Chains A and B, each alone.
Chain A
């Protein structure tokens, strides 16, 4: 069990007294749950009361009697379906030719044919269609300049798409199936303009593939009907109708009035219920899916910073330090302006490191990630990287440094703790929520490059976005916001510079090499410089891993050289004082180059030369 997990299985299948204690002291349902479940219980009661033998009987199989979030499980499956799809005809009607339906000018289908078509294709979550080109072409019929549907008042370039309905198939007084068609309302200014339908079934066809049709259809009738109350949609062989809670039926688009005795309670299945608010439930607008109305990502895609083995059992003091930052890192534009890359990858683990000085230390959380891709194109899939985020756990010794034992002045009599107490005391520096990404999840990390080949998270938790299917979810004080990768990279300016620099390693030994730098061609730079410091990484498996540095007694003063253009220069590198002798293996040496315009205006890029010891 993880440290922050609690197993309360013992409370299961308990005695009456335990249940009463739970019931009296803790709310088991929220107010909205109570309302929802009461409505459901009433519906069950009325259905049950209407049955002759008092037994509850479900409607024909295939009809949903209780809404379940099945789309979440099927989303990935639907996305992999090969969509052949029929061509969408233009023109004022854009009826789908081979969905023969009296409603749309075709031949009348029998109820048996309609029931059969309802089962032809697997259920496809509506979200799948929102990214489908043919579906989006049907929306163009409402928005494009030519007003192909010849809609009164059209075209409607700002028209949006609301959450779709599915209709029920009714025969006489009974519901017999759910139609496998999504009816996407196209809306503008609080009114229905028409529908763009996506058929998961093809009546009378041998090849079951989605089809598209629609037009104005019964939009004007629906605008009028919904003024009088909520209505549930249903369909017969004659057409489409709506039924109010008082069981009054209104004809929306049909060749004949409805003559049966179906009730609202039989028909209402939530996915076919039209309310005054349905027209505002927008799922697609201005070329983008409105993800917050479509998706429900998990709440917990960050977690409290987990304790490592070293920290368990220690005395941990929570604290909120005050740091000054160069910019407000909670603002996405500030993060994108300062980031060098976006790394998308899966978190392998969380640990803690301290950057220590004589006067004390600063904790950082190390996030180990396996890269899937990166926006700047500098990393390979499968590569393992470490990303550092300010905050985390630090020992008292590291945090206080040499001031630990000081006395006098502001230190007074000094601390009065035993050595054992000091060893067992740690600080937990909490920045913002103090939460970290969860191992096993995938995220997009906005990062800046560190000189040693690692990365920093300049936006802290606000620059770490949870990957949820095809979107990235950002959490801040305003809640959740959703982005595609294109939207995120579009905010950044990652470029692979073409400076015409090539590095090669020669005269390689275990202690050093000659690093030759050739500059030729390239473009879009001012003055090229090379930092004097370098980094050595070893290829372990498929990952480049930093070679550990030896402790240094003094700070190194690196020199920056200018790179001569259209020429070759070389540096003699001796690394034994920094890395010791390297063991046999495959390595690369990295050196940072600058396109220098001014001390405040320069670009950097790490360039590598590989070598073998």
Chain B
């Protein structure tokens, strides 16, 4: 959805516009927030943060500004900042300089950039190997071991029975570990 499309929809019905925006980007926002808060927040807190992001988007969206382009950048930025703020409040109550905003990324040392690049490359390989398992196994792996979902929840998402999920996940993990070993990656 572009900014222009969102503004047009808002003029017709704000609730409908909100709903369409939410349905289009809630997965994206959830992925951003979850990725930041996975290690320090409960699922309820992550969901609350996601809702908070959209509430802010609805509240603070300036319909007077004539900007266009994909609205995902705007939403993604709010999501990253909200998640970062919640992350900081969770891990420390001390005043800290933000290291998560776009400006600070430019201040990274050369060494940090190099190790970050290597890490990102490793992430690409891992995700590529997971995708190589094919569906539904790749989704099962991500839902279970990244999102931490139960067999029943995964069953709702991929359309198999919880029993099938359990059996498939074990086999998929074994296969993935073999692939990781061949790629010389250890987790």
Mark B142-170 against chain A: 1 for CB-CB distance below 8 A, else 0: 11111100111100110000110011011
Q: Assuming the A-B contacts A10-B122, A66-B48, are A41 and B36 also in contact, with contact meaning beta carbons closer than 8 angstroms in the complex?
A: no
B170 lies within 8 A of A304 (CB): yes
A29 lies within 8 A of B27 (CB): yes
Is residue A136 contacting chain B, with contact meaning CB distance below 8 A? no
B-contacting 9-mer, from A18-26, A115-123, A157-165, A326-334: A18-26
Is residue B58 contacting chain A, with contact meaning CB distance below 8 A? yes
Is residue A49 contacting chain B, with contact meaning CB distance below 8 A? yes
Closest to A435 in B: B166
Complex Cα spacing A37 to B174, Å? 35
Residue of B44, B123, B162 with most chain A CB atoms under a 10 A cut-off: B123
B166 lies within 8 A of A56 (CB): no
Residue of A10, A29, A434 with most chain B CB atoms under a 10 A cut-off: A29
Report the count of interface residues on B (CB-CB < 8 A). Answer: 63
Is residue A68 contacting chain B, with contact meaning CB distance below 8 A? yes
Complex Cα spacing A16 to B32, Å? 9
Is residue A358 contacting chain B, with contact meaning CB distance below 8 A? no
B27 lies within 8 A of A28 (CB): yes
Mark A17-52 against chain B: 1 for CB-CB distance below 8 A, else 0: 111011101111110111001101110110011000
Residue of B23, B150, B170, B174 with most chain A CB atoms under a 10 A cut-off: B170
Residues of A within 8 A of B39 (CB): 9, 12
Closest to A40 in B: B51
A433 lies within 8 A of B167 (CB): yes
Residues of A within 8 A of B90 (CB): none
Residues of B within 8 A of A15 (CB): 116, 120, 123
B30 lies within 8 A of A29 (CB): yes
A41 lies within 8 A of B18 (CB): yes
B187 lies within 8 A of A10 (CB): yes
A19 lies within 8 A of B31 (CB): yes
Residues of A within 8 A of B131 (CB): 25
Closest to B36 in A: A13
Least distance between A6 CB and chain B CB atoms (Å): 4
Mark B9-40 against chain A: 1 for CB-CB distance below 8 A, else 0: 00000010011001100111011101110110
Complex Cα spacing A21 to B39, Å? 20
Within 8 A of A (CB), among B87-133: 116, 119-120, 122-124, 126-127, 131
Contact of B59 among A7, A19, A26, A45 (CB under 8 A): A45
Complex Cα spacing A21 to B176, Å? 18
Is residue A556 contacting chain B, with contact meaning CB distance below 8 A? no
Contact of A12 among B35, B47, B120, B122 (CB under 8 A): B35
B-contacting 9-mer, from A295-303, A452-460, A487-495: A295-303
Residues of A within 8 A of B60 (CB): 54
Q: Assuming the A-B contacts A38-B22, A298-B150, A433-B167, are A28 and B123 also in contact, with contact meaning beta carbons closer than 8 angstroms in the complex?
A: no
Least distance between B117 CB and chain A CB atoms (Å): 9
Complex Cα spacing A27 to B23, Å? 12
Residues of B within 8 A of A26 (CB): 138-139, 142-143
Is residue A4 contacting chain B, with contact meaning CB distance below 8 A? yes
Is residue A14 contacting chain B, with contact meaning CB distance below 8 A? yes
Contact of A13 among B35, B50, B127, B150 (CB under 8 A): B35
Residues of A within 8 A of B58 (CB): 41-42, 45
Is residue A319 contacting chain B, with contact meaning CB distance below 8 A? no
Contact of A434 among B35, B167, B187 (CB under 8 A): B167
Contact of A17 among B120, B146, B157, B170 (CB under 8 A): B120
Contact of B187 among A3, A6, A30, A68 (CB under 8 A): A6
A299 lies within 8 A of B151 (CB): yes
Q: Assuming the A-B contacts A6-B141, A10-B187, are A37 and B26 also in contact, with contact meaning beta carbons closer than 8 angstroms in the complex?
A: yes
Least distance between B120 CB and chain A CB atoms (Å): 5
Residues of A within 8 A of B76 (CB): 16
Least distance between B175 CB and chain A CB atoms (Å): 11
Complex Cα spacing A66 to B45, Å? 10
Q: Assuming the A-B contacts A11-B126, A18-B127, are A56 and B35 also in contact, with contact meaning beta carbons closer than 8 angstroms in the complex?
A: no
Is residue B78 contacting chain A, with contact meaning CB distance below 8 A? no
Residues of A within 8 A of B166 (CB): 300, 302-304, 433, 435
Least distance between B150 CB and chain A CB atoms (Å): 4
A28 lies within 8 A of B147 (CB): yes
A10 lies within 8 A of B22 (CB): no
Residues of B within 8 A of A19 (CB): 31-32, 35
Least distance between B163 CB and chain A CB atoms (Å): 5
Q: Assuming the A-B contacts A28-B147, A38-B19, are A56 and B26 also in contact, with contact meaning beta carbons closer than 8 angstroms in the complex?
A: no
Residues of B within 8 A of A49 (CB): 59
Residues of B within 8 A of A66 (CB): 44, 48
Residue of A41, A298, A299 with most chain B CB atoms under a 10 A cut-off: A41
Q: Assuming the A-B contacts A22-B35, A28-B147, are A45 and B54 also in contact, with contact meaning beta carbons closer than 8 angstroms in the complex?
A: yes
A30 lies within 8 A of B35 (CB): no
Is residue A8 contacting chain B, with contact meaning CB distance below 8 A? yes
A6 lies within 8 A of B173 (CB): yes
Least distance between B147 CB and chain A CB atoms (Å): 7
B59 lies within 8 A of A34 (CB): no
Q: Assuming the A-B contacts A38-B22, A42-B18, A48-B55, are A18 and B120 also in contact, with contact meaning beta carbons closer than 8 angstroms in the complex?
A: yes
Residues of B within 8 A of A8 (CB): 126, 142, 145-146, 187
Residue of A13, A21, A34 with most chain B CB atoms under a 10 A cut-off: A13
Residues of A within 8 A of B54 (CB): 38, 41, 44-45
Residues of B within 8 A of A302 (CB): 166
Residues of B within 8 A of A5 (CB): 145, 173
A22 lies within 8 A of B187 (CB): no
Closest to A16 in B: B76
B150 lies within 8 A of A14 (CB): no
Residues of B within 8 A of A303 (CB): 166
A299 lies within 8 A of B162 (CB): yes
Complex Cα spacing A19 to B174, Å? 25
- Can you report 11 A-B residue pairs in the complex whose CB atoms are below 8 A from each other? A4-B169, A4-B173, A10-B119, A11-B35, A12-B39, A14-B123, A18-B35, A25-B127, A26-B143, A37-B51, A38-B19
Q: A11-B146, A23-B32 are in contact. List 16 more A-B contacts (CB 8 A).
A: A6-B141, A10-B187, A12-B39, A21-B124, A26-B138, A27-B139, A28-B34, A29-B26, A38-B23, A41-B50, A42-B58, A45-B18, A68-B44, A300-B151, A304-B166, A433-B166
Nearest 8 interchain pairs by C-beta: A44-B55, A41-B54, A304-B170, A41-B51, A23-B31, A299-B150, A6-B145, A45-B55
